[in-house]
């Protein structure tokens, strides 16, 4: 494979591009837009240097996918450069459909599309978005606009789509427990947040793991030599989730942004919303359905320029002290509230949809109010956010004379990571500060006293 250009990258050193890739990337709005979408959404309000983008992440995923793909092909009899170049392009395009601020508003995507369809802003089969992540559906729809250009440059768009959808050869390199996407964002997010959090996973570790990767059938396993590096990868991933992605302030800022977005979607639905914001939400819906004319509006900066019309959003961006108190920040605080945090987490994990969380708030406030003497709570006085992370690593296997064995079976450290997640907060609870000031400590002590049985009861009622 002949490379024409090298891009200096703080994670991978130099990322090399072929002539076809340079021609495709330069001047293509759908790719260049990713320069203006932050990789970590609103995390920068907590970690100020977390302003890296989906563009540099996509280049990094392409680099890692190449290394893994090449290693696997070598073990399977030889490098297929035709397939490798398609794997590289799929890696470059894998995040094409992200909305502004990346994952922040993904839980609202279906509601936004539903409202847009009702107002005849878009004409789309909403069922497309029912079984897959919305940004993955949007990526596939946007890909339709790139097919002609890809063909001109010698690519087969169907091969790329198959890799992205999980149906193609080597698809697991882009989506799995040990994949190019995760590998790059772990190294990149750790670097740009500065959150080494007691461990690190570097390019040297990545090289060591790939050197000891063994292709087996349609999957991979690893030589024992790379075990310590795999442990570092898994520990770093866990710590990043706990201290960056699920930092209590990160969760709160993101939830407030979602509430602002949800409130504006609802206002636009009943025709009482700000006209500019409603018009913009229509443009976002069009982008989600593959309309390239809205591409430059689907950026963080454009989103901010419109939503600054909402005073609450101005307060958020200004990092004005939010009117909410966090019930627990760390594992210690979580353990002080719940006698059996693992069981509580099992219940919370059943709430897979944001609408169930909203219902849970209503159940909690209604039950809690029965025991309060001084005041009453409304669902709007609480924010409940369910943490989403599955650290289980059974798909990572170490090769032995007895056959492949799950790394958690032979590594006490990895098993400890799995056990730690069972007791770490899977849910975050916030209450309005002015409610506490009005009601006194009664509301805090009351919530702490009855929260565990209330959660169990509410989850059972909701999931029956």
Q: What is the pLDDT of residue 348?
A: 81
Q: Which residue has the higher pLDDT, 34 or 371?
A: 34
Per-residue pLDDT tens over the stretch 345-375? 888 887 766 667 777 788 888 877 777 777 7
| DSSP letter string, 412-452 | HHHHHHHHHHHHS-SEEEEEEHHHHHHHTHHHHHHHHHHHH
Query: Is residue 64 one of the residues assigned to a domain?
Result: yes
Q: Confirm whether 15 is domain-assigned.
A: yes
50 lies in a domain? yes
CATH number of the domain within which 50 lies: 1.10.3210.10
In total, how many domains does the chain have? 2
Q: Which of 339, 51, 54 is nearest to 194 (CA)?
A: 51
Does pLDDT of 390 surpass 70? no
Is residue 136 in a domain? yes
Task: Give the residue among 279, 65, 61, 324 at the shortest CA–CA distance from 188.
Answer: 61
CA 220, 223, 229, 235 dihedral sign is positive
Answer yes or no: are the C-beta atoms of 139 and 94 closer than 8 Å.
yes
pLDDT digits (tens, 9 = 90+) for 284-300: 999 999 999 999 999 99
pLDDT band at 72 (very low <50, low <70, confident <90, very high): very high
Reported as a pLDDT band with limits 50, 70 and 90, residue 389 is low
121 sits in which H/E element: none
pLDDT in tens, 303-342: 999 999 999 999 999 998 888 989 888 888 888 888 888 8
Q: CA 116 to CA 1: how far, in whole Å?
A: 45
Q: What are φ and ψ of residue 222, in 5° steps? A: -130, 145
Residue 312 maps to a domain: no
Q: In this model, does residue 144 exceed pLDDT 90?
A: yes
Mean pLDDT across the chain, nearest whole number? 90
Percentage of the chain lying above the pLDDT 90 cut: 59
Check the CA dihedral 278-283-286-288 and report its sign: negative
Whether 304 is in a domain gets the answer no
Chosen domain end from 167, 194, 221: 194
Residues 239-269 pLDDT 10s: 898 889 999 999 999 999 999 999 999 999 9
- Which of 194, 214, 238 marks a domain boundary? 194
| Residue 391 pLDDT greater than 70, yes or no | no
pLDDT over 90 at 198, yes or no: no
Picking from 194, 215, 232, the residue at the C-terminal end of a domain is: 194
pLDDT band at 419 (very low <50, low <70, confident <90, very high): confident
- Which structural domain range is residue 163 located in? 5-194
Please indicate whether residue 94 or residue 426 has the higher confidence score (pLDDT).
94
Inter-residue contact 463 to 350 (CB < 8 Å): yes
Domain-located, residue 296:
no
The answer to whether the Cα torsion of 131, 134, 136, 138 is positive or negative is positive
Task: Please tell me which residue, 391 or 6, carries the higher pLDDT value.
Answer: 6
Instruction: Give per-residue pLDDT as tens, 165-186.
Output: 888 888 999 987 789 999 999 9
Residue 224 lies in a domain: no
Predicted pLDDT at 219: 80
Q: What is the pLDDT of residue 187?
A: 95
Coil, helix or strand at residue 230: helix
> Encoding tokens for residue 44?
């920068």
């Amino acid at each position: 494979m002949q490379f024409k250009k090298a891009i200096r990258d703080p994670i991978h050193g130099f990322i090399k591009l072929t002539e076809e890739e340079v021609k495709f990337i330069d001047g293509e709005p759908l790719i260049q837009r990713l320069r203006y979408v932050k990789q970590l959404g609103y995390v920068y309000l907590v970690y100020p240097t977390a302003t890296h983008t989906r563009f540099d992440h996509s280049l990094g995923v392409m680099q890692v996918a190449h290394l893994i793909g090449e290693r696997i092909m070598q073990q399977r009899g030889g490098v297929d450069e035709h397939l490798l170049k398609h794997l590289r392009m799929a890696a470059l395009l894998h995040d094409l459909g992200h909305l502004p601020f990346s994952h922040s508003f993904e839980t609202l995507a279906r509601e936004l599309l539903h409202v847009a369809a009702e107002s005849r802003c878009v004409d789309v089969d909403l069922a497309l978005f029912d079984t897959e992540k919305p940004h993955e559906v949007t990526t596939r729809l946007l890909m339709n606009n790139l097919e002609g250009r890809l063909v001109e440059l010698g690519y087969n768009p169907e091969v790329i789509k198959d890799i992205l959808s999980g149906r193609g050869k080597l698809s697991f390199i882009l989506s799995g427990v040990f994949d190019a996407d995760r590998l790059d964002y772990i190294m990149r997010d750790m670097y740009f947040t500065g959150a080494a959090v007691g461990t690190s996973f570097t390019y040297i570790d990545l090289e060591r793991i790939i050197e000891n990767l063994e292709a087996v059938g349609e999957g991979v396993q690893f030589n024992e030599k790379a075990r310590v590096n795999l442990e570092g990868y898994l520990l770093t991933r866990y710590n990043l989730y706990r201290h960056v992605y699920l930092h209590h302030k990160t969760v709160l800022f993101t939830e407030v942004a979602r509430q602002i977005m949800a409130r504006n979607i609802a206002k636009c639905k009943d025709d009482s919303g700000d006209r500019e914001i409603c018009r913009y939400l229509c443009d976002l819906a069009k982008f989600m359905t593959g309309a390239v004319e809205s591409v430059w509006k689907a950026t963080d900066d454009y989103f901010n320029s419109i939503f600054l019309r909402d005073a609450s959003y101005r307060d958020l961006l200004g990092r004005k002290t939010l009117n909410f108190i966090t019930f627990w920040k760390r594992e210690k605080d979580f353990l002080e509230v719940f006698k059996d945090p693992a069981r509580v987490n099992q219940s919370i994990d059943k709430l897979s949809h944001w609408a169930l969380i909203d219902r849970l708030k209503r159940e909690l406030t209604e039950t809690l109010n029965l025991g309060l003497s001084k005041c009453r709570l409304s669902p709007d006085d609480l924010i409940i956010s369910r943490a989403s992370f599955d650290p289980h690593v059974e798909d990572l296997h170490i090769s032995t004379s007895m056959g492949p064995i799950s790394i958690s079976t032979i590594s006490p450290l990895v098993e400890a990571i799995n056990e730690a997640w069972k007791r770490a907060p899977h849910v975050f609870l916030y209450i309005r500060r002015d409610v506490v000031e009005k009601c006194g400590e009664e509301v805090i002590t009351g919530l702490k006293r009855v929260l565990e049985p209330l959660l169990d009861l509410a989850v059972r009622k909701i999931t029956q």
